[in-house]
Amino acid sequence: MSRDYTLQRAPSAATISIDYAAELNEQQYAAVTAPPGPLLVIAGAGSGKTRTLTYRVAYLLENGVDPRNILLLTFTNKAARQMLDRVANLLPIDATGLWGGTFHSIGNRMLRRHGCALGFSSGFTIMDREDQKDLLNSVVAGAGIDPKEMRFPKGDVLADIFSFVVNTERTMEELLAEKFPYFLPLLEQIKDVQARYERRKKSTNSMDFDDLLEKTLRMLKEHEEIADFYRRQFQFILVDEYQDTNKIQADLIDLLASEHGNVMVVGDDAQSIYSWRGANFQNILAFPRRYPNAQTFKIEINYRSVPEILSVANAAIAPNTQQFRKNLSAARLTNHARPAMVALNDGGEQALFVAQRILELRDEGIDLNEIAVLYRAHYHAVELQLELSRRGIPYQITSGIRFFEQAHIKDVAAFIRFVANPRDEVAFKRMVRLLPGIGGKSAENLWQNWEKSLGENAVISSWGERMRVLSVGARSKKSWEQLADTLEEIAPGGVPIQPTEMIMSIVEAIYDDYAKANFANYELRKEDLTQLANFARQFEDIHEFLSQLALISNVDAEPAVNQAGEKEAVNLSSVHQAKGLEFHSVFVIWLTDGMFPSSRSLETREAIEEERRLFYVAITRAKDELYLTYPHMRLNAGYGDMFQRPSRFLKEIPPQLVEDWNVRRG
């Protein structure tokens, strides 16, 4: 006997009703309920951008749009999941057919289905960064290039170069000229390696992360039937954080939306701060020109910060000429305290002020987790890390590893450690492995021979003579001679010179070339090493200098007195890493010209405007209290104390919006 069974449709939109006007403010409501067509939503800091996108998805579903016809593009898969979870809580509609995720995850889905059009099977491998680096090093070797003979970029650096070329859609020559000028003489060899790399990926049915965008766009451009399929499927496209898209991502959106034009992009041009990694500010700025019928909505009610902080934020971004002008207004009530403008004598006094004020805030009942110190570059926090450790204030670095624990800092310190202690095996091996042609096995053999040559007497009267006794291969002979000369230069007659001068000599003679070939962010690491040299100026004795490095690297700050919990810690972060976060109290330090804005940004208006946007992002992380600090003096290796001008950004803030704090020693 058979039984009839009827599948029920998911609840229809007619049975559901969200009161959008009650759930959203007027600005959000206007964007969420806008008719089909191109929509640009400029969502200011703390204005409920995610809420607006979530309710837009719900609005489309409630109005009968099939989930399969919606594409939601975000910058993390987690963000897409959170939005869809919120939609599910708003509407009892099955939205499993909706495509939501990062650009790369969407590209992956398309290529799994149709990658055969480009000669890839559906089971292609996606290489992680380590796989990509290994394959590139293999390709370089296969091209007959011996990195031991020349400072040819290593696999990691090549991966970054090729990634920039793909994501910015620029020529190799243009990219090298702007970001890696020291590799321009190798242009033809690098282009040859790139072509070989592409062939190897195809022959091994492998793709790297950037291929998930580049190959997807190429597939859609070269195969009209595939492009038509997805244009018909994705009738409504929504894009989060549009100000952070790069050229290839914007092209992908434009291609998919080219017929129906139903694309909503949400972002904040004032928070476009990632040009250094390929993001294209012009994508959001030129959206109304690319979509002449686009409606623009501004969401300017901020739910995060008090009015006094928003007044400073509005004033800070106002001088930018390239922007969608808006004025953030506060949903919160005043706290009657203006942001503090604090002038200090030098970086050391700045660190003292920040540390003392942090302890005061903790005593006022503010959790350390709710306090952040933001800076333009990682090395700006050197003095502060020392001071926090001295005072037992726990801290965590949002932007990664602690300053003195970074590879390039430890590399240069290895030379100094070895000069201070010729029996330091770890320092010796780390130092010699930086030389071309010397790997782990060679370093071990060299160490055994060096240890034997020392005998019981570790006193060195001539580094040049002692190092030249050791035998190295022909490929390493020139660099070994350079090492011997450098050691003699930094410790003539076995007597070490001042630590700052040692660092400058090591970098100039050996490490600069190594860093160019091994680090894509060479310029940033060079700045770090300059700061290390600045820091070392306060020490005449290398043993004292090395002791300070060891202490700050190895001592975990103990919890401060009366602290609520062991996991509580002050947040130290670059502004870039802090985007999207918020804190009760924020300190923005080193607000001097050349530091923030950075010296490298002072040459063009575009770069200065991005720095100003970065300053705006820093200000808008603060909910209740904001401290803007600038030292008058700065230690500078080779030049002594240098006078610092307050950041031009501070001068653009009307004096009545801030409170000057006059700091004096007790």
As given in the structure block, the two tokens for residue 132 are 């990509």
Contact call for residues 63 and 13 (beta carbons, < 8 A): yes
Decide if 357 contacts 302 (C-beta within 8 A): no
The one-character DSSP state at 1 is -
Residue in the block written with tokens 């090549």: 158
Cα dihedral value 417, 420, 425, 430, nearest 10? 30
SS3 for 343? strand
CA distances from 403 to 377, 397, 418, 507, 542 (A): 11, 9, 21, 17, 19
Residue keyed to tokens 């010796």: 428
Euclidean distance between CA atoms 154 and 180, whole angstroms: 13
Give the 3-state DSSP-derived string for 137-155, with helices as H, strands as E and coil as C. Answer: HHHHHHCCCCCCCCCCCCH
Backbone torsions φ then ψ of 243, nearest 5 degrees: -65, -15
Task: List Cα–Cα distances, 523 to 91, 378, 499, 636, 663, in angstroms.
Answer: 50, 13, 22, 17, 34
Query: CA-CA distance, 198 to 67, in Å (whole number)?
Result: 36
Using an 8 Å Cβ cutoff, are 539 and 180 in contact? no
Enumerate the β-bridge partners of residue 298.
42
DSSP H helices in 115-246? 129-142, 155-168, 172-179, 187-203, 211-222, 224-233
End-to-end, the C-alpha distance of the chain in Å comes to: 95
Phi, psi of 160 (to 5 degrees): -70, -40
Amino acid present at 251: D
Active site residues: 49-50, 240-241, 271, 621
Give CA separation, 320 vs 190, 243, 310, 348, 595, in Å: 38, 16, 17, 32, 19
Strands 640-643 and 329-330 come out as: unpaired
- The greatest distance separating any two alpha carbons of the chain, rounded to the nearest whole angstrom, comes to 103
Strand 39-43 and strand 295-299: the pairing is: parallel
Q: How many CA atoms lie less than 13 Å away from 560 in the CB half-sphere?
A: 23
DSSP output for 511-546: IHHHHHHH-TTHHHHHHHHHHHHHHHTT-SSHHHHH
Residues in contact with 119: Cβ distance below 8 Å, sequence separation at least 6, in sequence order: 202
Within 10 angstroms of residue 343's Cβ, the number of other Cβ atoms is 18
